[in-house]
Amino acid sequence: MDAIELLMHDHRMVEQLFRDYRAAATGRQRRAVVETLIRELSRHAAIEELMFYPLAKKVLPGGMQEVEEHLAEHMAAKQTLLALDKLSVDDHRERELVEQLRQEIEEHVHEEESELMPGLRDAVSQRDLDRLGELLAQAKQTAPTRPHPHAPDEPPALSLAGPVAAAYDRLRDRLQGRPRT
């Protein structure tokens, strides 16, 4: 998959997770979906911030402003993910926070897929998008699995903080028995 296809695949997976949440029969099933949402959205945001957004800033007219808007949306989603991460099973606030997250993500995905991604597809060669897709897939395997709203969201500081956060997240995931991917 090229970079755009990979990121859009992530978007479809997250949309399915929101449907899975609504269909879950028990609090434990819903919590498992929430933990998967936290992991997948955290990884997705990290790889976008590390490699995809810097490219958009560089090659798109108005890319700097557009990326800043996307980073602000990421920050809002990270805050919601962090609030969800702190909840216990069957916390009465969970449904409300998941709905808030769904709305944040739905708007963000719409903007990326209707504006940012088509612009990048026009501005970057297919070969470069293919290579970036490979790099994103590799980076996703070692990206943080939890939200870090206070961490840097742009290189070069993100390049230094990301691996430390990812190692810490994976240790926490293992200690808490969260599923690994």
Distance between CA atoms of residues 145 and 67, nearest Å: 22
Distance between CA atoms of residues 30 and 179, nearest Å: 14
Total residue count of the chain as it appears in this document: 181
Domain ranges, ordered by start, for the chain: 3-175
Q: What is the pLDDT of residues 104-154, one digit of tens each?
A: 999 999 999 999 999 999 999 999 999 999 999 999 998 888 887 766 566
- Does this model's pTM top 0.85? My answer is yes
- Range list of H helices, 24-144: 27-47, 53-59, 63-86, 94-111, 117-123, 126-140
Distance between CA atoms of residues 167 and 144, nearest Å: 7
What's the topology of domain 3-175?
A: Four Helix Bundle (Hemerythrin (Met), subunit A) (1.20.120)
